[in-house]
Chain A
């Protein structure tokens, strides 16, 4: 681990702790349990790799923790969809079908087009496919929320709006790693960490911000729905 990487890892740790505190103080821990788990998992992964680098800063541990993070990203998308649509039976039925199709299609694509052994040496061959599936799950949720005019909170919106660009940055960096080879590994890892810190800071700001109260008593005619 280079000095810069170590510094950004410490910054990420502090940011993650700040995010957890903000979420706890604003009562957002239970609004998306998968995200809370994701934040805790990344904090644990970060702490293990920085406090005991001899034991945990290695390729096998990286592949293991990445698997956990990826699963939790998918879980975040599914939980957000469930929380948004469960009050609307018709929309939830469609959302289940769309999410199911996306999950099956992405699983088949990952199994079909990527190598059987998921090792660090071929990280660019499988990791971008998994992250892309996560991006599209979030996109499907966002599109359906807007299509059906489902009310979601500022916090849920911030989760999605933060996650997708970060995932895009990850895929872009993996692409760069594939093109340039292992000699840019350090720089790619550093840029990925910086993007992650940016995401955590964005979420912390969103978690800390007070939600705008819904204005009540104002009637909006049905015809105003565009």
Chain B
């Protein structure tokens, strides 16, 4: 009976995952990684990060002005816009971090990143995560493992920041005149920007590591990947 249950669970998991598997998409993704110009991808990402940061700051400043002018409903509406900018940007960063984790497995070595540090962050939970990640970083040997530790820390960090941002926005909605929630939201935005800078650095390191595989080698790798499927 145990075997029957185990086989059923295994078979169901297999059919579900492979049933959703899209080979063409997987191939296109790898082709993009191996053939896309790194500098162009990096520049596009940098512009995106700057734009998200500018939008969130602009919305927060507008909300603060409205609050100072005693227009609480307007202030809350604009603060929610700032939160939605953060949430959308956060979803984008989390997706990219997951993707980077996958792609980091195809290179033999990754350009090393400095150990995670708590210095650029303001939030207590984020500082603690960075300290723990810094300790674990010291225990790891391979650059790939350290790189993925960075990615994990950033994923957790973005989760913490988004959670904190939502909480601060809720508190500001309940008591718009209370400055604490507004300060907290500004802190979360600052932490988001610090995480964004790390995320950009990690992307740059991955792109540089991919670029280190010479064109011929990348072509060979691509042929091997595509050849595997034929």
Question: Could you list which residues of chain A lie within 8 angstroms of chain B, going by C-beta atoms?
Answer: 31, 83-84, 87-91, 94, 128-129, 131-132, 135-136, 138-139, 142-143, 145-154, 156-157, 160-161, 164-165, 167-168, 171-172, 174-175, 211-212, 214-216, 218-226
Contact = CB atoms under 8 A, between A and B. Distances in A.
B214 interface: no
Contacts of A87: 106, 221, 224-225, 228
B104 A214 contact: no
A142 B26 contact: no
Contact of B28 (A90, A143, A174, A215): A215
A91 B105 contact: yes
A148 B105 contact: yes
6 contacts: A89-B108, A131-B3, A151-B226, A220-B32, A222-B41, A225-B98
B26 A149 contact: yes
B58 to A, nearest CB: 23
B18 A175 contact: no
Interface stretch (B6-14, B77-85, B120-128, B181-189): B6-14
Contacts of B36: 219
Nearest to B41: A222
B69 interface: no
Nearest to B23: A151
Given A89-B106, A164-B15, A223-B95, A129 B3 contact: yes
B15 A88 contact: no
B11 A211 contact: no
Counting from the closest, the 9 A-B pairs by CB-CB distance are A90-B105, A225-B99, A153-B229, A128-B3, A139-B10, A135-B10, A168-B11, A214-B27, A139-B14
B96 interface: yes
B33 interface: yes
A151 B11 contact: no
Contacts of B23: 151-154, 157, 212, 214
Contact of B4 (A84, A146, A175): A175
Most A C-beta atoms less than 10 A away, residue of B25, B26, B226: B26
Given A84-B228, A89-B106, A90-B106, A146 B20 contact: yes
Interface secondary structure of A, over-half rule: helix
A151 B98 CA distance: 17
Contact of B7 (A152, A160, A171, A220): A171
Contacts of A131: 3, 7
Interface residues of B, number: 50
A145 B15 contact: no
Contacts of A150: 26
Contacts of B29: 149, 220, 222, 224-225
Contacts of B3: 128-129, 131-132, 171, 174-175
A146 B224 CA distance: 18
Interface string B108-152: 100000000000000000000000000000000000100000000
B213 to A, nearest CB: 12
B102 A157 contact: no
A144 to B, nearest CB: 10
A153 B228 CA distance: 7
Contacts of A84: 228
Nearest to A153: B229
A157 B226 CA distance: 15
Contacts of B49: none
A24 to B, nearest CB: 16
A216 B19 CA distance: 23
B47 interface: no
Contacts of A164: 10-11, 14-15
Given A138-B14, A147-B102, 13 more contacts: A89-B107, A89-B108, A90-B104, A90-B107, A94-B105, A129-B3, A132-B10, A145-B21, A153-B229, A160-B18, A168-B7, A215-B24, A219-B36
Nearest to B18: A142
A138 B184 CA distance: 49
